[in-house]
Amino acid sequence: MDTEYAEDSVDRHIARWSGKVPFDVPTEAVITRIQLLAKHVKYGKERALAETGLQEFEFETMHRLASRGTPWRAPSAELAAELLLSPAGMTGRLDTLEKSGLIRRVRASGDRRRVDVELTDDGHRRWTEAMRWRGIAEAEMVDPLDDGERAALSALLKRMLRHVEEKQEK
């Protein structure tokens, strides 16, 4: 059976609401599919983290460190700002990660008052494993699309996102 035109949950949603409330069907279809796909992406990420035993907050902190490249280090205040955490919230998060052996705190070489945070080898290994599982989950999501369809979808979503972001900047 060709699944391209098979009914999905959004088609059923639209049919259920059609005639009950006014809405633009194509817009409702696009937005509802984006919302449902976002939920599936979230579930895929949660499953990936479960495979590695990491919590989302642990992964996010490690991800910020790993993005800096070797030695996977950043000032704790900078991390807190990026993660939108208070200093106390950042301290609690780092305490948990340090007890798990995923990060270490080190005094900054140029300013001993500043504390840098860096991934341990085990932290980097666990982050890499989580990224591998996330990649598998993401690949499964886009599997039905060929390369051209993926590029076209990405371009359309980019156009929508830029429109929304530009409106928010004004």
pLDDT of residue 91: 95
Which tens digits make up the pLDDT trace of 95-122? 999 999 999 999 988 887 889 999 999 9
Distances, alpha carbon 48 to alpha carbons 17, 103, 131, 138, in Å: 35, 20, 8, 10
The CATH number that applies at residue 22 is 1.10.10.10
Contact 65, 103 (CB under 8 A): yes
Query: Count of domains in the chain?
Result: 1
Which among 154, 145, 148, 76 has a CA at the least distance from the CA of 115? 76
For residue 114, being part of any structural domain is answered with yes
Contact 124, 68 (CB under 8 A): no
For residue 6, being part of any structural domain is answered with no
For residue 154, being part of any structural domain is answered with no
For residue 106, being part of any structural domain is answered with yes
DSSP H or E run through 107: strand 103-107
For residue 104, being part of any structural domain is answered with yes
The domain containing residue 118 runs over which residues?
Answer: 18-143
pTM of the predicted model, to two decimals?
A: 0.80
CB atoms within 10 A of CB 134: 20
Residue 12, amino acid: R
Q: Residue 3 — pLDDT band, cuts 50, 70, 90?
A: low
For residue 55, being part of any structural domain is answered with yes
Which tens digits make up the pLDDT trace of 37-71? 999 999 999 999 999 999 999 999 999 999 998 88
Distances, alpha carbon 149 to alpha carbons 11, 123, 156, in Å: 21, 36, 11
For the chain, the average pLDDT equals 93
For residue 107, being part of any structural domain is answered with yes
For residue 1, being part of any structural domain is answered with no
The residues near 40 (Cβ < 8 Å, ≥ 6 apart) are 141
pLDDT of residue 1: 47
